[in-house]
Structure 1
Amino acid sequence: MDRFMGTWKLTSSDNFDEYMKAVGIGFASRQIANMAKPSLLFSVDDQGVFSMKSMTTFKTVEIKFKLDEEFDEITADDRQAKTVMSLVDGKLVQTQSWEGKSTTLEREVQDGKLMVKCVMDDVVSVRTYEREE
């Protein structure tokens, strides 16, 4: 998990609007999300609880988790999901399940960048973050 720690700033986003449509996010919320350039802050406390905080000028959302333990998540678009974060082959894999649906967000550090692959059914979005100094 060490490679994820620190602050990352969104630098590019491909097909994110289509991904949000597939998840079921409404037009107005998608417009705001498409304009937002979030920073992600990863940290860990003394008890081994990880934190991932997404910060924009519109909203800040933080989740706290232990690897491989399900928790209740209220997403940035206010979905109430059951979420599990796992480390798989060096990737931080987040699986959200709600109302009979599920989506997967895979985070991986490649060439010093944080790549986030968002998958909902057959729709894939890739978002790229660069480390903030």
Structure 2
Amino acid sequence: MATIQQLVGRWCLVESKGFDEYMKEVGVGLALRKMGAIAKPDCIITSDGKNLTIKTETALKTTQFSCLLGENFEETTADGRKTQVSPNL
């Protein structure tokens, strides 16, 4: 089982498969899908032991959210959609 500390650090996307199909399925328009296809985001994960902060950086945009494991919250995705998130390990 993973722990929060095992996730802490900088993670770099190396390869992505099926992302365009996923974005199309959830209703992302062509222009944003094209940008998403070329984006190679870095994900920086930090924690104070209880709260988890995830910052995603691309050349076009940086997003960040913090959460408490086990507590649901609403997040606005990079393309503006509202989603319910349930963070658990």
Q: Normalized against structure 2, the TM-score is what?
A: 0.90
Counterpart pick for 1:40 among 37, 40, 43: 43
Gaps of 5+ in 2: none
Q: Does 1:76 align with 2:78?
A: yes
Structure with higher strand content:
1
What SS does the corresponding residue of 2:69 show, helix, strand or coil?
A: coil
The alignment of Structure 1 onto Structure 2 pairs a total of residues equal to 86
Q: CA RMSD in A?
A: 1.1
Runs of 4+ in 1 over 2 A off after TM superposition: none
Aligned to 1:58: 60
**Alpha-carbon displacement from aligned partner over 1:9-43 (angstroms, at most 9, x marks no partner):** 11111111001111111111111111110000010
Structure with higher helix content:
2
Note if contact 2:32-2:79 (Cα within 8 Å) is conserved in structure 1.
Answer: yes
Q: Normalized against structure 1, the TM-score is what?
A: 0.62
Work out which structure has the larger RCO, using CA pairs closer than 8 Å and 6 or more positions apart in sequence.
1
Gaps of 5+ in 1: 88-133
- The Cα shift of 1:45 comes to 2.6
